[in-house]
Structure 1
């Protein structure tokens, strides 16, 4: 690789905005050693300028302005962009961008990678025939697959028929310096609204887009159930929902109907998520589907026990009984029961949170993730191209 003109990787994503997939991409770009690779991003449908500002390297970012529905012109715009950029590698991510493997092939891109990061909200069990057909149809165009969990790797191998040697499972990493436990002399709860939580309150929180697939509604219902079943203990409970999205009004209505507005903070989208995590006592991820969750990794790195639904790669991160708990998805009673244990035993969250931090330091450092991506890219460039 020429030191003064390293190979270019074009990353194709649906939209450059707040999200776990997008955070992982930004981390990969920012942590790639200088002179190793250049990067560019082609977003099919929008670029958030505030999120784009998180990229610390000189990177071309283009919005291809996909129109609603079937936009056949998108294929031409992608082809033209790739002909101009002439990348060594194109890396698409998730089903929304898989079809862009075709214009990449037609544009003469020699090496093509596809990442599977998690479940589609319309196909949580990967059973929809149309989606399966699409993945099989585009399989010959993809040189290497990067699933983020063992479960997704098994799906590609068994259901899509991808050869094992083309599958490279890479779990997300987390910046363990940015996401860290609160220091003893740190006023961690200073980020919360004034008077929201006292020193003896149990602050439960989650981070994520307020969308159906993230299922914060089940968490809200479990929280309401706990407060109602034991009002004395319930008075010590607080719930923090970090993120925004289409379900904000619905979630607010659930809280208001229960009369618990004073115990729930809708924090909205935040630029200070690390500080917000340090203000929590317990983290919950109630998603209906996941790949390898960045927010779970960030919570664990922040020294928090994690209660998560047993979907996707969550069980590869959370060790039940050691770093947190796993519950069935869409099960209010099971989630309430798991949370009840932390309310009854104030030391449990601290003990499991310390174990979660140790697990991050041993297995999920950001440097390990970046090194594994670079190994895949290096391996492709070392082999025969088209």
Structure 2
């Protein structure tokens, strides 16, 4: 993987490694860049090998091949496109017959799909012949449509959330969280969690709040996360009406504390596979407004536990904000349904079991050829009736 930074993908993988590390399933993490802050949160027996590559390092595959020769893994699981090419080339250079090389897809850092350069590289390296994993059914379809991956070679391993760590707050917890963030008694708290990057489209959410502010009353926005757009977003927040206060919290370790202070959760991404932040908000029993991208419809259970709006549409989000803030009964109903959905469909223990079953199934194969799981995969994201 690129690095064990504090993003959603990295936090999920670190949690999966902690839960699955055992004598029968041991992990070694190789990062193309520096180890990253989450490296210290892994079990002591999990080796983290940083390659310390520079950007576009032409020797990355050679360095990775050296690691492969040394540790001789049964499975090489490369995470996201920025590691796929190096992993495939390293496997060839190493000359070691790894049982499986798997390409994991967690999403792109931009909307608009795979770039023309990425598609050419995928064809050149014949990536479509490798098995893939995706964290969403939308991601699976994207691999099929844009890279030509056979559907039966893409296994969906959805993210999960700890329903013990993330749960609705008690009255005392809620009061303490709101006090910690300086929330006024008459304010409605809108929480947003995610990297301050273009694809997350926080600017659209701020625009929606600005246009609807006269109908919202007092609002406090808690924005947890950091990234390249922090400066421009802070500048935009300064122009919001006086009835709207925005707090930029930076990277937050205790995300549950932020969610406990909130009245509703907004996720305005214009591209997403499956958001960990949304699952955490669901587990905390928050009503949610999110854009209809990726597997949002599945996660929201076709609108039964969250409200969907069109991406890049601040007017639709503004109207939805007004309706939700002025309908506390609706917020309560959606929050309860979200918690129930998180418990029944998105628990972390189920996600761990899926990973364990996946690794057992591919680790038992002797060679790389056909990976056929077609019968086990539903055609689309399942929803409850």
> Is contact 1:101–1:141 with CA below 8 Å preserved after alignment?
no
SS in 1 for 2:239: helix
Superposed, 1:264-343 pairs within 5 Å as 264-343=246-325
**Alignment partner for residue 25 of structure 2, among 4, 18, 37?**
37
Give the Cα separation in 2 of the matches to 1:91 and 1:195. 40
Is residue 2:100 matched to residue 1:111? Answer: yes
CA distance in 1, matches of 2:185, 2:311: 31
Q: Kindly provide the CA deviation profile for residues 285-311 of structure 1, in whole angstroms up to 9, marking residues without a partner as x.
A: 111211111111111011112111111
Q: Which residue of structure 1 lines up, in the alignment, with residue 115 of structure 2?
A: 128
Aligned 8 A contact 2:173 2:260 in 1: no
TM-score between the two structures when normalised by the length of structure 1: 0.89
Distance 1:195 1:364, change over 3 A: closer
SS in 1 for 2:183: coil
Question: 1:59 corresponds to which residue?
Answer: 46
Q: How does 1:181-330 map onto structure 2 within 5 Å?
A: 181-184=168-171, 186-192=172-178, 196-227=182-213, 229-230=214-215, 233-235=216-218, 237-258=219-240, 260=242, 263-330=245-312
Q: Check the 8 A contact 2:78/2:103 in 1, yes or no.
A: yes
1: CA distance between counterparts of 2:17 and 2:114? Answer: 33
Q: What count of residue pairs does the alignment treat as equivalent?
A: 365
CA 1:210 to 1:167, structure 2 compared with 1: closer, same or farther past 3 Å? same
Q: How does 1:128-207 map to 2 (within 5 A)?
A: 128-140=115-127, 143-184=130-171, 186-192=172-178, 196-207=182-193
The Cα shift of 1:33 comes to: 5.6
Give the structure-2-normalised TM-score.
0.89
Query: How has the CA–CA distance of structure 1 residues 92 and 327 changed in structure 2, closer, same or farther, with 3 Å as cutoff?
Result: same
Deviation at 1:165, TM superposition (A): 2.7
Bigger mean CA offset, 329-338 vs 156-165:
156-165
Q: Compute the RMSD of aligned alpha carbons.
A: 2.0
> What secondary structure sits across from 1:297 in the alignment?
helix
How many Å separate the matches in 2 of 1:161 and 1:56?
37
- Does structure 1 residue 14 correspond to structure 2 residue 2? yes
CA distance in 2, matches of 1:127, 1:48: 26
Please, which runs of 5 or more residues in structure 2 have no aligned partner?
A: 369-385
Give the secondary-structure state (helix, strand or coil) at the position aligned to 2:104. Answer: strand
Contact 1:319/1:325 (8 A) holds in 2: no
Task: After superposition, give the CA deviation of every residue in 1:10-51 in whole Å (9 maximum; x if it has no partner).
Answer: xxx1121111110110111011163231111111122323x2
Cα distance in 1 for partners of 2:262, 2:127 equals 46
